[in-house]
């Protein structure tokens, strides 16, 4: 399948999720058929992690999920311990997730919880001291705030969520941050703020996980999106957000195909190869390709991930 695209080399998937071992075999097998030879695997079960390490000693860079329940309570000591032993356990980086709906999953999250609360500072300091990169997800698509998160008292506002992360970035110029989903800012009106972040914080990288979010938003102004990718070509990592628990060939193919159309081609108005729940009642999601040069595609799909995590 890779020979139909402009870039034909190996792919580093900087954002995938691994659960049980039976599913991991499938993830690796389907990934390989799509050219994905190496991946960051965000670990969801201990058993899956141990088995994956044994079966795939190469090809998976493991990310450890830090305990959100503890973070929510500003209970930092267990987190610091987790970070300190993470490399010995075989992990290379850490992961946290603060999608606004984490308040649905952790009812104990205090109402005024903030990521930039000084009580959490020792966590970021430990990442810095131990030289552990972190994938940290904050905010969500604008579309979610307009639909699922209308209760802003409970969920908060997107600009504020981004600001909280920015305050952390200001304090920690030596921690490597991978901010997924284009820093949660692929919406065209947000690209200027994302540019500002990348200009201000050389330790920040973004990934392209969530094919439908990237395709939907970046297709809306191909000139601006392409200019952005050209300018920050060393800072963007390809990612699928594929989860081993829900891996089917159709799902995986669709996600990769959508991004290959977006990055590799110049086609116009191509329907997303799967349903986008955010636009299914308003006409659907269509992709306009950015037709990136091969030199940039090579960085996006391979060289950036390899440089940051494999050397
Ligand atoms: Zn993810």
Task: Give the pLDDT of residue 246.
Answer: 75
CA–centroid distance, 60 to ligand 1, in Å, is 15
CA–centroid distance, 17 to ligand 1, in Å, is 7
Task: Give the pLDDT of residue 115.
Answer: 96
> CA torsion sign, 74 to 95 to 111 to 69?
negative
Cα–Cα nearest to 141, from 66, 220, 203: 220
Task: Give the pLDDT of residue 3.
Answer: 64
Task: Give the pLDDT of residue 167.
Answer: 98
Query: What does pTM read for this prediction?
Result: 0.95
CA–centroid distance, 276 to ligand 1, in Å, is 17
CA–centroid distance, 209 to ligand 1, in Å, is 7
Task: Give the pLDDT of residue 108.
Answer: 77
Cα–Cα nearest to 2, from 298, 309, 305, 306: 298
If one counts the domains in the chain, the total is 1
d(CA 305, CA 166): 23
CA–centroid distance, 42 to ligand 1, in Å, is 8
- Going from the first residue of the chain to its last (311 residues), give the mean pLDDT of each consecutive group of 10, the final group possibly shorter: 83 94 88 95 92 92 94 95 97 94 83 93 97 97 94 92 98 98 98 98 97 97 98 98 83 94 97 95 96 98 96 77
How large is the greatest C-alpha to C-alpha distance in the chain, in angstroms? Answer: 51
CATH of the domain at 47: 3.20.20.140
Cα–Cα nearest to 214, from 109, 292, 152: 292
CA–centroid distance, 294 to ligand 1, in Å, is 27
d(CA 245, CA 17): 8
CA-derived radius of gyration, the chain: 19
Find the Cα–Cα–Cα–Cα dihedral 111, 114, 118, 120, rounded to 10°. 100
CA–centroid distance, 15 to ligand 1, in Å, is 6
CA–centroid distance, 16 to ligand 1, in Å, is 6
CA–centroid distance, 39 to ligand 1, in Å, is 13
Beta bridge partners of 204: 177
Task: Give the pLDDT of residue 255.
Answer: 95
Domain residues for the domain of 91 are 2-310
Task: Give the pLDDT of residue 250.
Answer: 84
CA–centroid distance, 135 to ligand 1, in Å, is 9
Element (H, E) at 234: none
> CA torsion sign, 236 to 96 to 253 to 194?
negative
Task: Give the pLDDT of residue 107.
Answer: 76
């Amino acid at each position: 399948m890779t020979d139909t695209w402009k870039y034909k080399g190996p792919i580093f998937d900087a954002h995938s999720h691994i659960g049980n071992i039976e599913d991991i075999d499938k993830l690796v097998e389907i990934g390989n058929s799509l050219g994905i030879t190496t991946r960051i695997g965000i670990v969801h079960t201990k058993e899956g992690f141990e088995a994956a390490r044994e079966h795939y000693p190469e090809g998976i860079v493991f990310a450890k999920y830090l305990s959100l329940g503890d973070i929510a309570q500003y209970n930092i000591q267990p987190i610091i311990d987790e970070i300190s032993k993470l490399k010995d356990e075989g992990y290379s980086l850490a992961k946290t997730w603060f999608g606004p709906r984490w308040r649905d999953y952790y009812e104990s999250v205090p109402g005024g919880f903030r990521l930039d609360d000084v009580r959490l500072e020792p966590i970021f300091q430990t990442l810095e001291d131990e030289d552990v990169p972190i994938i940290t997800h904050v905010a969500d698509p604008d579309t979610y705030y307009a639909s699922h998160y209308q209760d802003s008292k409970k969920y908060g506002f997107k600009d504020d969520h981004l600001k909280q992360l920015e305050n952390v970035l200001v304090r920690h110029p030596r921690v490597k941050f991978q901010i997924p989903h284009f820093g949660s800012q692929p919406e065209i009106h947000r690209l200027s703020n994302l540019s500002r972040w990348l200009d201000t914080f050389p330790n920040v990288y973004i990934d392209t996980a969530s094919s439908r979010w990237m395709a939907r938003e970046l297709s809306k102004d191909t000139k601006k999106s392409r200019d952005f990718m050209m300018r920050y070509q060393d800072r963007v990592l390809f990612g699928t957000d594929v989860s081993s628990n829900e891996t089917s060939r159709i799902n995986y193919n669709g996600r990769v195909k959508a991004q290959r159309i977006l990055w590799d081609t110049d086609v116009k108005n191509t329907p997303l190869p799967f349903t986008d729940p955010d636009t299914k009642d308003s006409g659907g999601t269509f992709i306009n390709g950015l037709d990136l040069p091969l030199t940039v595609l090579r960085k996006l799909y391979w060289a950036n991930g390899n440089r940051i995590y494999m050397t």
